[in-house]
Amino acid sequence: MATRKIVTLGNVTLRKKSKPVVDFDESLAVLLDEMKATMIEKKGVGIAAVQVGVLRRAVIVEIEPKEYLEIINPQIIKTKGKVSDTEGCLSVPGFYCDVERPQYVKIKAQDRHGREYEFEAVDYIARCICHEIDHLDGILFVDHTEEGQKYKKQHGVE
């Protein structure tokens, strides 16, 4: 399976809001398959389409070892609790910092065929889902902390 190049911090594409997926066709299937292959190759646990330069509301998260959830056009329905833990990102290689995220999240989304579903997650998987959904709105984990703000300043990026 082909992989794609990861867009990194400093590229303006990462700051753009992704558009809803409207065509659930072969090109979406190829995009999702290539996103997954890229994520696995780069040893990530989540990836958003914008991270491979495609401004569509599509995300993949590894919810169990070698079990992946495709999340298209996600909407966060409910969150509970707050917990802080270390995050990194394929688009910000080599930098990690603690970020506060919901401990629980419930989302409504679509699969690659356009079928709607709901999914609930806690702890690490909730964190991953929220991190990836942030990407769809042009938000990066470094935007959530002072440490991340300092990192952006040091590297001359927004």
d(CA 81, CA 100): 10
Annotated active-site residue in 34, 62, 132, 146: 132
* Cβ atoms of 93 and 9 closer than 8 Å: no
d(CA 86, CA 142): 11
Residue-wise over 49-63: b if at least 16 C-beta within 10 A, else e? bbbbebebbbbbbbb
Phi, psi (deg, nearest 5) at residue 69: -110, 120
* Residue 44, SS3 per DSSP: coil
Take residue 15 and report the two structure tokens written for it.
Answer: 């700051």
d(CA 75, CA 65): 24
132 has catalytic annotation: yes
Q: Tell me the catalytic residues.
A: 132
